[in-house]
Amino acid sequence: MVVKYLRKAYTNFATYIYDIPPRMLALLLIMIFALLPMTRALDSSTLMMLRDASVMAILAASWDLLVGRTGQMSLGHALFIGIGGYSSALLFMHFGWPVWMVIPVSMLAGAVVALLIGLPCLRVKGSYLALLTLAFPLLLERAVYYFRDVTKAEEGIPPPPRLPAFFQGLIRLDARIAEYYLTLSLMVISAIILYKIANSKRGMVFVSILDDELASKACGINVTNYKLLAFVISGLFASLSGCVAVYISSFANPSFFGIRWSVLPLVVTIFGGIGTIYGPIVGTYIYYFLDMYVFRKIINISEWHYFGLTWEYATFLIFILIVIIFILKWPRGIARAVVEKLEDLEEARPIEELEQKMAKAD
């Protein structure tokens, strides 16, 4: 019954919405998101949730360019969050640079680091590559503890001025709303750039490396250069995400290199679908939405005390379990699994009808 209605809804969706060019659809979504704060329907916690989601969406999209498009498995994108965060915080603390200079420089730092780690990483493949990339954030985390004079280790680097202060002067807005707009616009800009790159001629080369490295080599493509390019682009945008994260959380501490930030892109990609750039972005919003509304507001998990357990941590556990289940069952992501399921049903319908008719005839 439910499936029937879902299928009907999907057929309508596919016939009416798919005809609209994706560009328009994206524009519509962006406009809805841009107008949301005007309606005063959002409280500050929702604004904060959307703000964090926007920052993480940049990370997830950049991860998808490297992993979903080029097929270079990375479990170490926390590295770029850390590099972006620490470089911007350090630049501010030691040189007092303004925001508009710090952001490009820390993006550049992320790109340089991506180039440096890309060189050794390109020599290995598959599991080795994943393990090697997993190692880098931990190395850097150790380095943060080792050079504690510069980085202040556990204490973290004292807060740089909050980013929106710079914009608030220009457009008189509440701090939360200013942050929301800023992160949203950065997300939209980087998503558009990443999407354009992924669908450009070079982006096609990335996909060819994913599909068959040997064949692309045989076609005269310099695979090494393209892999490095993917690393650098991914690092550039991931460190932008780290840079913004430090400005909105106003603290740079070793948790920026934490395993959580390396695993999160994976989780949200499973929610949204791999290799599409927009999939992980949608997935990030779904993830944060579920985290905020279902787990915190509706069932209020942090107030639970059953069996003496700390249920707060069950949220991420459930997300990871969902990831495992979906990789075992539908390895290409939830969104695509649902769509494929519905399309299969749609194709299967005439045959079912035919069978029913034949059964009647008999």
Partner 1 sequence: MIEGIILHGILSSCTFALLASGFTLSYGVSGIINLTHGAFFMIGTYFYSILLDVFSISIPAEFSILSLILPVIASTILTGIVASIYYRLTLHQILGDELATLVVSISGCIVFQQMIYLIFGSLWGMQLPVPELLSGNITIWNVSISYSRVLAAVTSFCLFVALWLLIATTKTGKAMKALSQDHEAAMLMGISTEKMYMLTAAISAGLSSIAGVMIVSSTTRVGSAIMWLQPLAISFAIVVLGGLGSLKGTLVGGLIFGFSRTIVELTVPLGGAIVDAVPFLILLCVLVVRPKGLFGKRVEMED
Give whichever of 31 and 317 is closer to partner 1, judged by the CB atom: 317
The nearest distance, CB 332 to partner 1, in angstroms, is: 11
Q: Does 75 bind partner 1 (CB under 8 A)?
A: yes
309 near partner 1 (CB under 8 A): yes
Cα 18 to Cα 14, 21, 157, 193, 349: the distances in Å are 5, 7, 48, 23, 21
Q: Is 259 in the site for partner 1 (CB under 8 A)?
A: yes
- Quick one: 44 or 310, whose CB is closer to partner 1? 310
Q: Which of 192, 316, 343, 345 binds partner 1 (CB under 8 A)?
A: 316
CB of residue 227 to partner 1, shortest distance in Å: 14
Interface with partner 1: number of residues (CB under 8 A): 37
Which structure tokens are listed for 205? 């080369």
135 binds partner 1 per the rule CB under 8 A: yes
Piece of 7-15, 132-140, 191-199, 277-285 that binds partner 1 (CB under 8 A)? 132-140
Q: Which of 58, 61, 66, 73 binds partner 1 (CB under 8 A)?
A: 73
Among the listed residues 340, 339, 148, 144, the one whose alpha carbon sits nearest the alpha carbon of residue 256: 144
Q: Is 66 in the site for partner 1 (CB under 8 A)?
A: no
Point out which residues bind partner 1 (CB under 8 A). 73, 75, 120, 123-124, 126-128, 130-132, 134-136, 138-139, 142-143, 145-146, 259, 263, 266, 309-311, 313-314, 316-317, 320-321, 323-324, 327-328, 331
